Amino acid sequence: MRPFIAANWKLHKTVEESVETAARLKIIIEGVNDRDILVCPPFTALEEIYHVIEGTNIMLGAQDVFWEEEGAFTGEVSPEMLKNVGCEYVIIGHSERRKYFNETDETVNKKIRASFADELKVILCVGETEEMRDQAKHRDFVEKELEDGLKNISSSDAKMLAVAYEPIWAIGTGQTATPEQAQEMHAFIRDRLSVIFDQKTADSIRILYGGSVKPDNVKELMSQKDINGALVGGASLDAESFGKIIKGF
Ligand code: PGA
């Protein structure tokens, strides 16, 4: 499976800073053609960055989307609007959106279906808290996020899906899941995807690991059978560091 390395810049960078980072990244990854690369800047920088990366193998993505096409929904942006500025992907259901902005499995599902209707590809984020893991409830929790988030989605639309397993306790903490812990959950996720869709579809869906991915741990993570990529926050803000992650396995 072609590896997929994605940058989630979260609430960081002005348009100028975003353009500068993307331009540096473009030079750093020149000639790297055997993996997919995605950058997800804030909404304000999407269009400018698109012009910087156009014609390269860096793809553009947004960090969220709304499910309606248009209307009186102040502050929201539709899948069509994202495609219009050059986005190929959108991140949906990041744990920070679930925690701070009342994202639920139901709204996640609406957003995924609306995105697929406009052929906008999706990275669906799932992952448990530390407390859930301590109580051995992490599998049940992630299973529910997958089942409810992917309700009424066809196997053919699932071609536009990637899943990111991001244990909440590993995000921004420097405390990465061990490669074994991540592999175990990735295999579990693939198994659940085979029930939701079918085995062939599940085998074709890329499952990314997210949570304190750094240049020095990417290789070990990527060597695991069911880890097909990485969703990188903090270490993607600097072009050199993100470049090392992209080239580091
Ligand atoms: P982190 O964030 O790499 O800073 O832990 C990952 C994410 O939230 O996608």
List, for residues 169-195, the tens digit of each pLDDT value.
Answer: 999 998 999 999 999 999 999 999 999
- 186 counts as catalytic: no
- When pLDDT is averaged across residues 120-128 and rounded to a whole number, the result is 98
The overall longest dimension of the chain from CA atoms, in Å, is 48
Superfamily per CATH, domain 4-246: Aldolase class I (3.20.20.70)
Confidence of residue 196 (pLDDT cuts 50, 70, 90): very high
- 94 counts as catalytic: yes
Q: Does the pTM of the predicted model rise above 0.95?
A: yes
Residue 79 Cα to ligand 1 midpoint, Å, equals: 23
Rounded Cα gap, residues 207 and 123, in angstroms: 9
Residue 27 pLDDT? 97
Q: HSE (CB half, 13 Å, CA atoms) of 141?
A: 21
Domain parsing of the chain, residue ranges: 4-246
Confirm or reject: Cβ of 79 under 6 Å from ligand 1: no
Residue 19 pLDDT? 98
Residue 123 pLDDT? 99
For 41-57, what is each residue's pLDDT tens digit? 999 999 999 999 999 99
Question: What burial class does residue 152 get, using C-beta atoms within 10 Å of its C-beta: 0-12 exposed, 13-18 middle, 19+ buried?
Answer: exposed
By alpha-carbon position, which residue is closest to atom 9 of ligand 1?
Answer: 233
DSSP states of 30-91:
TT--SSEEEEE--GGGHHHHHHHHTTSSEEEEES---SSSSSS-TT---HHHHHHTT--EEE
Catalytic residue among 103, 138, 166, 186: 166
Rounded Cα gap, residues 205 and 201, in angstroms: 6
